[in-house]
Amino acid sequence: MTAKYDIIVVGGGHNGLTAACYLQKAGYNVLVLERLNRAGGGAWTEEATLPGFKHNLASVFHGILHLGPVYKDLELQKYGAEYIWPDAQVAAAFTDGRCLVFYRDLDKTCQEIARFSEKDAETYRSLATMFRTVLDNMIGPWFFSPPVPNSISSLAFESSVEGLNMMRMQLSNPKNIVNELFESNAIKSLLLSFIKEFGGAPDTYGFGVFVPMMLGETHYPHGWAICKGGSGNLARAFVNCLEDHGGTVMTNAEVKKILVDGKRATGVQLADGTVIEAGKLVLTNLEPHTTFLKLIGEEKLEPPFIHSVKRWRKEDTILFHTHLALDEPLKWKCAAFNPDINRCLGVLLIDEPQEIYDDFAAIDRRELPPKPRMFTAYPSVVDPSQAPPGKATAIGWQYVPYNLREGGPAAWDEVKEEFAARCIKIWSEYVENMDKSILKHYAMSPLDTERLWTSMVQGGFNHGEMSQDQLTIFRPFVEYKPYRTPFENLYMCGASTHPSGSMGGACGYNAVQVIADDLKIKNKWWE
Ligand SMILES: Cc1cc2nc3c(=O)[nH]c(=O)nc-3n(C[C@H](O)[C@H](O)[C@H](O)COP(=O)(O)OP(=O)(O)OC[C@H]3O[C@@H](n4cnc5c(N)ncnc54)[C@H](O)[C@@H]3O)c2cc1C
């Protein structure tokens, strides 16, 4: 059977859905094809342990979504994605009984930092104030625009000392920057642990941009937010928006081939053999290896381009995640130092930066971190609708290698439960009631993540390593301008494009800007 749409989107992640909604509203007839039984990709909530316990199997912290235009442009609140911004945002818990809580309120945060270092509190206040402006005027617009050549973006920065300093930070790594700015291990530990959650080690060059990003984003009027009822409601809101404007999402529809004729993409073929034609264009939410080598095929590509696709580096450092169904919320041993830790959305288990470096050193050796330094999250503490009355949910995220030294990726199926037990044991050292509270756990190894969302190759949620040579105009290759490909009407819109992973819809939004120019769309309704 052959159906025909103007635009076909391969993969129903939030980036594919973002692009689909904008283009449908611009007057095109858009079809989104999703391999799973639900669209949303990393916006996914499932009762994975027990009935009534809503586990967000991928994203929880949705800050970037509110930095850009997507949430408002697509009226996602009206379509069912309501947000909560917790006052107590994140904390670091220390084994000496102390903790450092970061609030949305900058003054309260600085008061807490001053308990560790007056000097750091002052530094933090001035940086957070400055970085808020930087976030609003530079980082936000940088996320939500197609990347421009470094020679052009550098010009504005190079005209002032402040600009040069920002550029220096962006090119540097979090470890260097945090060390030059702060003296207290408490604040260094919190920042370095939190920043690594974007998907890179503290010594990753090019990752320095996340220091101003984190300081600017955590405090009012910004802040890390969670979707009421679970991240799956964000996915549903995108789908509702698309369908309300006449678009279509087809689930259980795995794309096996992107059909090309010469330099044009003509449509797709599904796993069941169905062929669907695309009148105008095809957009892929998938990363370069899958899109070009698997779905199109090397025989349809020029050899130099095959080389540039193959040099795309996948992520090796991947999140292992343990989801808990709890009989009651966890109670922190360090709550005597600051009781607000009991209502924090995120808590980092860390004593000093060296522990994070040790974690990443083990990952580099392709071994499991002996003492996992987890980032833990408590969605139901902030949004009680995510668990049955009086009960709670929790998540522990820990970076691990995909390709284990002993046994490779396949060994994950053998070591998964043992490693989950190690994570829970370390976690329980920080809380009073872990053993009596756990009703059930559900662990996902990198292999499980990859099996569920095949778009997250090797379990990598950025769809490819984030490092200087794979960011901005280099993401994912330099032979074609960002979001474009060797096929004149095939575009890319997933996390393998600028600005990469996280829930914000930025990749989808940016792809639409490029498509709108190429198609000479007059009805740029979002401008
Ligand atoms: C454990 C974990 C925790 C995370 N936490 C956060 C967080 O707190 N905050 C945050 O901002 N981000 C977080 N992320 C990252 C975020 O989820 C991703 O960066 C984001 O989902 C990428 O979006 P995307 O739309 O580009 O791709 P994806 O979400 O990967 O979506 C791609 C879609 O394509 C579908 N697909 C794959 N192959 C095919 C095919 N052949 N045919 C049809 N469909 C196909 C997939 O099923 C998927 O639905 C987390 C991710 C993980 C795994």
Q: H-helix or E-strand containing 408?
A: none
Specify the pLDDT at position 254: 98
Specify the pLDDT at position 153: 81
Query: pLDDT > 70: what percent of the chain?
Result: 100
Residue pair 507/499 in contact (Cβ under 8 Å)? The answer is: yes
Tell me what the mean pLDDT of segment 38-48 comes to: 98
Phi/psi of residue 250, each to 5°? -110, 120
Ligand 1, atom nearest to 495 Cα = 26
Q: H-helix or E-strand containing 300?
A: none
Tell me what the mean pLDDT of segment 342-353 comes to: 96
Whether 2 has a pLDDT exceeding 90, the answer reads no
Distance CA 245, CA 7 (A): 14
**Residue range 113-168, pLDDT digits in tens:** 999 999 999 999 999 998 898 889 888 999 999 999 888 888 878 888 888 888 89
Residue to mutate, 38, 453, 455, ligand 1, most ligand atoms under 8 Å from C-beta: 455
Confidence of residue 37 (pLDDT cuts 50, 70, 90): very high
Q: Is 10 in the pocket of ligand 1 (CB under 6 A)?
A: yes
CA of 83 to the centre of ligand 1 (A): 20
Specify the pLDDT at position 154: 83
**Residue range 247-275, pLDDT digits in tens:** 999 999 999 999 999 999 999 999 999 99
Confidence of residue 216 (pLDDT cuts 50, 70, 90): confident
Tell me what the mean pLDDT of segment 213-228 comes to: 93
Whether 419 has a pLDDT exceeding 90, the answer reads yes
Ligand 1, atom nearest to 10 Cα = 43
Distance CA 122, CA 368 (A): 38
Query: Which two three-digit tokens encode residue 165?
Result: 């300093």
Specify the pLDDT at position 445: 98
Give the residue ranges of DSSP H helices in 429-521.
434-437, 446-452, 506-518
Distance CA 425, CA 59 (A): 24
**Residue range 311-328, pLDDT digits in tens:** 999 999 999 999 999 999
Tell me what the mean pLDDT of segment 6-22 comes to: 98
Which residue would you say has higher pLDDT here, 1 or 285? 285
Residue pair 216/162 in contact (Cβ under 8 Å)? The answer is: no
Whether 447 has a pLDDT exceeding 90, the answer reads yes
Specify the pLDDT at position 1: 53
Specify the pLDDT at position 19: 98
Name the residue at shortest CA distance from atom 6 of ligand 1.
59
Residue pair 275/269 in contact (Cβ under 8 Å)? The answer is: yes
Specify the pLDDT at position 208: 85
Length of the chain: 527
Specify the pLDDT at position 207: 83
Q: Is 495 in the pocket of ligand 1 (CB under 6 A)?
A: yes
Ligand 1, atom nearest to 253 Cα = 43
Whether 3 has a pLDDT exceeding 90, the answer reads no
Which residue spans within 137-238 are E strands per DSSP? 226-227
CA of 248 to the centre of ligand 1 (A): 20
Is the previous residue joined to 221 through a cis bond, with omega within 30 degrees of 0?
A: yes
Arch. (CATH architecture) of 2-81+228-313+464-518: 3-Layer(bba) Sandwich (3.50)
Report if pTM > 0.85. yes
Q: H-helix or E-strand containing 56?
A: strand 55-56
Distance CA 393, CA 379 (A): 7
Q: Is 131 in the pocket of ligand 1 (CB under 6 A)?
A: no
Phi/psi of residue 154, each to 5°? -70, -30
CA of 458 to the centre of ligand 1 (A): 12
In DSSP terms, which residues pair with 57 in a beta bridge? Answer: none
